[in-house]
Amino acid sequence: MQIVHTVEALRQTLAGRGRPAFVPTMGNLHDGHLSLVRHARGHGDVTVASIFVNRLQFLPHEDFDSYPRTLEADCAKLQAQGCDVLFAPREPDLYPQPQTFKLQPDPALADILEGHFRPGFFTGVCTVVMKLFACVFGASGGGVGVFGKKDYQQLLVIRHMVQQFALPVQIVGVDTERAGDGLALSSRNAYLSAEQRAQARALYAQLEWLATQVRQTQQPLAQLEAQAMERLTALGWQPDYLTVRQRDDLLPPAAGAAPSSPLVALGAARLGSTRLIDNLEF
C-alpha cells in the first residue's frame, strides 16, 4: 500500500490507474471501516482510503482534540484489507489556508436530526468530502465513493450533494457492522467504560422496539417516539432524538397516510459523555 500525505503526491500516484473506489475516514479504524474497504475493492480499479480528522465538522466543545489518532495501526489494517493507496494529509496539506469557502447543504436535509444537535456539522462534512473527491477523482474524472449506513443522514446528504453538483461519483452505501450484542461499531465506542459498554446496545434495542411498535400498533408516531425516549432515559441515557422518518428525505411520515418511501428509525443519545448514533431501516 502506498501512503501519501500531499494532494500533489496523491494525484501523481493515481494518474493512469483508472477509476478509484474511495473510502473517506477519520481513522481509528474498526471492522466497520474495513468492511467499507472490502466493498470498495469490488467497485473500482484502485482502492483508496483517506484518514483525516476534519476540524470543520466538530463544534468547539466536541472531541476534535481527543479524537483517537492511530495512524500506524490503521495503516496495518488497511494494508491487510488490500487497500492500494492511503491518503493521510496533515492539516496544512488539506487546509493550507483557513478553509473560507464552504459548502452549504440543503437545510431541509442537513439542519434536522444530527444537523440540529450539531449545527454546522454537515457543512464541515460536505466541504471536506467535496475537497477529498477533488483530490481523489481529479486524475480519473470520476469513480466510486463508499460510505457507511451507520451515518445514515451523512450518506443521504452526500448523495444529494453529488446529485446537485453533478459530480461524476457513484455513491455506495454499506450496511452497518455490529458487535455480537447489536452495538453498531464506532470509533467513539472506545470512550465507553466497561460498564457503559455493557449497556450500550440499549440504543439499538430502542430503535428495534420503536420499529416493532410502528409496524404492529396504531399508536400515533409522536407518542411512540416519546415512549422510546423515556425508556432510554430510564436506562440512564440522555437521548437527543429517537424518531422514525422516510428513508429518502428523512421527513416524518404523514400521519395516517402511506409513507412515500420505506422507513428508518434513527437515534442519537449520550451515555455518560459519549454520544452514539444508530439507525434501523424497516
Catalytic amino acids? 33
- Any binding-site annotation on 229? no
Q: Which stretch binds ligand PAF (CB under 6 A): 111-119, 121-129, 262-270, 273-281?
A: 121-129
129 touches ligand PAF (CB under 6 A): yes
- Separation CA 128–CA 99 (nearest Å): 9
Which residues sit opposite 265 in a β-bridge?
244, 280
Q: Which stretch binds ligand PAF (CB under 6 A): 125-133, 165-173, 242-250, 264-272?
A: 125-133
CB 78 within 8 A of CB 1: yes
Q: How far apart are alpha carbons 225 and 252 in whole angstroms? A: 11
Report if residue 25 touches ligand PAF, rule: CB under 6 A.
yes
Query: How do beta strands 263-271 and 238-246 pair?
Result: antiparallel
Alpha helices, DSSP H only, in 50-201?
Answer: 71-80, 91-94, 107-110, 114-117, 121-137, 152-164, 194-199
All three cell numbers of 244: 422514525
26 binds ligand PAF (CB under 6 A): yes
- Give the CA-trace dihedral at 120, 123, 128, 134, to 10 degrees: -170
Closest CA relative to residue 24, chosen from 8, 40, 11: 40
Residue 10 is which amino acid? L
Residue 240 touching ligand PAF (CB under 6 A): no
Rule CB under 6 A: say whether 156 interacts with ligand PAF.
Answer: no
* Smallest separation, CB 151 to ligand PAF (Å): 5
Question: Measured from the CB atom, is 49 or 280 closer to ligand PAF?
Answer: 49
Name the segment binding ligand PAF (CB under 6 A); options: 24-32, 68-76, 195-203, 218-226: 24-32
> In this structure, what C-alpha cell is assigned to residue 186?
464506532
Count residues near ligand PAF (CB under 6 A).
10
Helices (H), 138-237: 152-164, 194-199, 202-216, 221-234
Grid coordinates representing 230 are 423515556
Of 22-30, 58-66, 99-107, 111-119, the segment contacting ligand PAF by CB under 6 A is 22-30
Residue 114 binds ligand PAF (CB under 6 A): no
Q: For residue 139, which amino acid is it?
A: A
Q: Which is nearer to ligand PAF, 52 or 204 (CB)?
A: 52
User: In angstroms, what is the minimal distance from the CB of 93 to ligand PAF?
Assistant: 15
Interface with ligand PAF, residue 268, by CB under 6 A: no
Task: Confirm or deny that 57 is annotated as ligand binding.
Answer: yes
Smallest gap from Cβ 57 to ligand PAF, in A, equals: 6
- Binding of ligand PAF by 186 (CB under 6 A): no
For ligand PAF, the binding residues (CB under 6 A) are 24-26, 54, 57, 125, 128-129, 151, 154
Q: Which residues are annotated as a binding site for (R)-pantoate?
A: 57, 154
